[in-house]
Amino acid sequence: DIQMTQSPSSLSASVGDRVTITCRASQVIGDYLAWYQQKPGKVPKLLIYVASTLQSGVPSRFRGTRSGTDFTLTITNLQPEDVGTYYCQKYNSAPLTFGGGTTVEIK
């Protein structure tokens, strides 16, 4: 099965900073990569699908990119409401594996 390696596992940044989270697939998955945000005590929310398409209503400060089997979620101008854990998920074929998650905190 394809493994999804997400890094870092946690990060702390200041309001207004640019934050980068990376997810690496162990094999080619095309653009079949989604990013989710899970705020504390809440259910996950789909942010991005097909690697770079923003789900409706997601602020434009969130951006997804792909380079081969490496995927990146970038949050520009980090806001206090962006605190939470971010997960990637591959969905090209089953199993639809999640990455281990990245917890984002505000300094």
Partner 1 sequence: QVTLVESGGGLVPPGRSLRLTCATSGFTFMTYAMHWARQAPGKGLEWVAVLSSDGRETFYADSVKGRFTISRDTSKNALYLQMDSLRPDDTALYHCVRGGSPFSSSPGDNWGQGTLVSVSS
Q: Which residues bind partner 1 (CB under 8 A)?
A: 1, 32, 34, 36, 38, 43-46, 49, 55, 85, 87, 89, 91-101
User: What is the C-alpha to C-alpha distance for residues 31 and 68, in angstroms, rounded to an integer?
Assistant: 9
CA distance 4 to 29: 10
**How far apart are the C-alpha atoms of 90 and 35, rounded to whole Å?**
9
Least Å distance between CB 7 and partner 1? Answer: 14
Q: Nearer Cβ to partner 1, position 20 or 97?
A: 97
Q: State the minimum distance, in angstroms, from the CB of residue 8 to partner 1.
A: 14
- Sign of the Cα torsion 72, 101, 47, 98 reads positive
CB of 79 to partner 1, least distance (A): 22
Q: Which is nearer to partner 1, 14 or 96 (CB)?
A: 96
C-alpha pair distances (Å), 43 with each of 57, 71, 93: 16, 23, 23
Pinpoint the alpha helices (H) of 25-84: none
Minimum CB–partner distance for residue 89 and partner 1 (Å): 6
Closer residue to partner 1 in complex, CB, 17/52: 52
